[in-house]
Structure 1
């Protein structure tokens, strides 16, 4: 691989949180993000390997190394001994069938990265009969968030397609480096801003209950550390259109309204009137950072305080304004803030940052290779860092919902029950507001008691 002229740097705020868990649990694939594709025809393995080589060469973070304890952790670019493509790509012998190929990928998907010795990305390719392949890209989240994964696959596909058209790849200059984002965070101006933002967050979290009491759905299905499961749900098209219409009427985004409704549902379940939900923030506040591959995404809290007669509109507007205000104060070391605020009891279930309600931002189209027939397949490592993660894909008229849950707190059955109960609650709210709109001209003044 080409040397990317990378620099040595301390870890960013976002990376520090991951690094601590990584060194505490070196044998667990807690941060393996897998992208699995079944290529049914037309795949040119040589083109894929060449394209992958170019992408990794241009983005030095994908071949970085990491070392040091929590206090002195560092990341550094490729050494003078350049990485070989064999360090990134593993081509297996032909599998007998799709099941055997999938078993190989499943086994490989949970192999932990040794970040001090090897690069934080690999591609596993398993050929099958009739020129079919399973292709799995595994990347450690310390160098790549979901936004960056979208950029990665766009670039990888574009280089592959050039080769497919018998065109030569003209390698542009090295891409803007994520390691420079780390240096930007350490600049005096950014450090001063982080101090100001710290005061904002300490005031925002003052006195909040740092965990939820979701005992109604608790069901231990696996007691192993970090064990987790996933569930895929959908929101009916008619329901989603009504939520969008109501959000437009309230002058908020559909996502902020969904989050408010979910918080109101949890308030009904727990009878707690002051708590936080967390959400992934893109955090790309450095100029020209939209096209940089790296870990920018971080979890931020939204606080919900329910009064005796809290109207849905008031709660949704407050949540929407919080999302806007939070984005202006996201440059900070949230781990230090949480400790100082006294909300860092990680041993308690459903604590701060353990219940996440987010939306998918930049769409990841995965591999888009010319002259191929590709299907993306789900693959999950069986591990999770949160107790409950709900991610909405609001890019379609019938949104998909990805749910990841801790097996110490939920089972497949209780997660299904929880989501069904939320959908029933949501429908009851929409019905309530339809009745109001039919009987009262000024619907905005009518409180919805949550």
Structure 2
């Protein structure tokens, strides 16, 4: 990965293209204009004495600092383009729920109502906030944004900046943040030029070799036949790996000298092998694509999809499978810059309506660093990935290891546990099927931490349920 500052500011007097990840979502929206699957929802809960003026000032400053939060998207003669607008003040509407018979139920109802609204991409704002007042000392900030201006890493940056700005404004101090040197449009322009260079060609060679012979579709058994046209409707229940088991998984990762993601991913391969009866398949994953130092603090949709080869042939032990998963993960991270669509186009899978080659099942970690700094008279709790009744893939499992996000400093409310969001297509799977899969996954984790020398056949014996 490059360690020089490749991305540089570009003039704003020309056409600003979309990044490749944005362009993929743009074309999906052209096919499904009412789709809400590429909208993101989160809550930031404040317990204590909240300074609403400081919060509004902090949100206004975030919008001023980052062009992507005031960008819309339009068609042009040369394809879709970004349109950057001037800064604007943010005054989040306040919904007072204190008098509700059940304030928590009122909060849940307000969130359901808010996330059911489609965010148009051709007019501001594509990022929205509303403040729910639950009690004098408890407020919930609902954060809604379109994926065209969002990725998980950027959301954590937003929380970081929001807290830093709020802390300063509440104390009557100026912003402590340096001005951004780059904006997202600069990255999008750079990416287009990078695609014509030798590094992109080298990464394409890697992916063609790595995915050679891997079936394009996993074809998990479904509860209902696959419809001819996807509706992107579904749900996203959350299941938690308890702290005790999570500690054992972390200990296994340390002993085997692999990442926590590698252990979790290898166990997920075992689950899928038992569920599908397949030994060779692909699992999609979202990667940050922020290997360049100048992109570390950049807001916007840089996230890229990679196809991770899962090879369980030869009935390996779990320890041997960990080695394969480690090599796959390291190779993917070293070659994460090439847009996924370029890989798919080069492999030329059959075009089947409603199918997504190599990535119908996804597994990823939402573990980008997050710094919820201590705020005056406030305790802060962030809950990302709230469901809105949609699904982007057949199955999309997202792990949130809170301890790793906080650099090993587990909060008292989440002492080392790992939460998983199991987003699934409701036209294919029933809720009970996904719940069984989550339970089976936890049992696989317990089995492999107890005996990493166990063979895959023993771990998948008796069926996946």
TM (normalized to structure 2)? 0.82
**In the alignment, which of 257, 269, 276 is matched to residue 270 of structure 1?**
276
Task: Name the CA distance, whole Å, in 1 between partners of 2:135 and 2:46.
Answer: 12
Relative distance call for 1:161 and 1:5 in structure 2 (3 A) is farther
Task: Name the CA distance, whole Å, in 2 between partners of 1:90 and 1:237.
Answer: 36
Task: Name the CA distance, whole Å, in 2 between partners of 1:12 and 1:70.
Answer: 17
The answer as to 2:232 corresponding to 1:226 is yes
User: Paired residue for 1:419?
Assistant: 438
User: Paired residue for 2:413?
Assistant: none
User: Paired residue for 2:93?
Assistant: 91
Task: Name the CA distance, whole Å, in 1 between partners of 2:434 and 2:149.
Answer: 31
**In the alignment, which of 417, 424, 442 is matched to residue 405 of structure 1?**
424
User: Paired residue for 1:250?
Assistant: 256
Deviates more, 1:404-413 or 1:187-196: 187-196
Checking the alignment, whether the CA contact within 8 Å between 1:52 and 1:156 is kept in structure 2 is yes
Aligned residues: 430
Structure 2 stretches of 5 or more lacking a match?
1-9, 404-415, 459-465
Relative distance call for 1:356 and 1:12 in structure 2 (3 A) is same
Task: Name the CA distance, whole Å, in 1 between partners of 2:421 and 2:115.
Answer: 19
User: Paired residue for 1:141?
Assistant: 147
Relative distance call for 1:46 and 1:258 in structure 2 (3 A) is same
TM (normalized to structure 1)? 0.85
Larger Rg: 1
Relative distance call for 1:76 and 1:294 in structure 2 (3 A) is same
- Per-residue CA deviation, residues 352-373 of structure 1 (Å, 9 max, x unaligned), is 2121111222244669642234
- Per-residue CA deviation, residues 6-43 of structure 1 (Å, 9 max, x unaligned), is 56421111111111122332323222211223444412
Task: Name the CA distance, whole Å, in 1 between partners of 2:48 and 2:249.
Answer: 41
Checking the alignment, whether the CA contact within 8 Å between 2:151 and 2:301 is kept in structure 1 is yes
Deviation at 1:93, TM superposition (A): 5.3
Deviation at 1:100, TM superposition (A): 3.9
Checking the alignment, whether the CA contact within 8 Å between 2:58 and 2:162 is kept in structure 1 is yes
The 5 A counterparts of 1:308-323 are 308-323=314-329
Tell me, what secondary structure is at the counterpart of 1:113?
coil
Task: Name the CA distance, whole Å, in 1 between partners of 2:304 and 2:195.
Answer: 21
Deviates more, 1:260-269 or 1:22-31: 22-31
Relative distance call for 1:160 and 1:432 in structure 2 (3 A) is closer
Deviates more, 1:313-322 or 1:51-60: 313-322
- Per-residue CA deviation, residues 410-448 of structure 1 (Å, 9 max, x unaligned), is 222111111222233333344444xx6xxxxxxxxx966
Deviation at 1:404, TM superposition (A): 1.2
User: Paired residue for 2:38?
Assistant: 31
- Per-residue CA deviation, residues 199-227 of structure 1 (Å, 9 max, x unaligned), is 22222222321222321x63689998111
Checking the alignment, whether the CA contact within 8 Å between 1:58 and 1:175 is kept in structure 2 is no
Structure 1 stretches of 5 or more lacking a match?
437-445
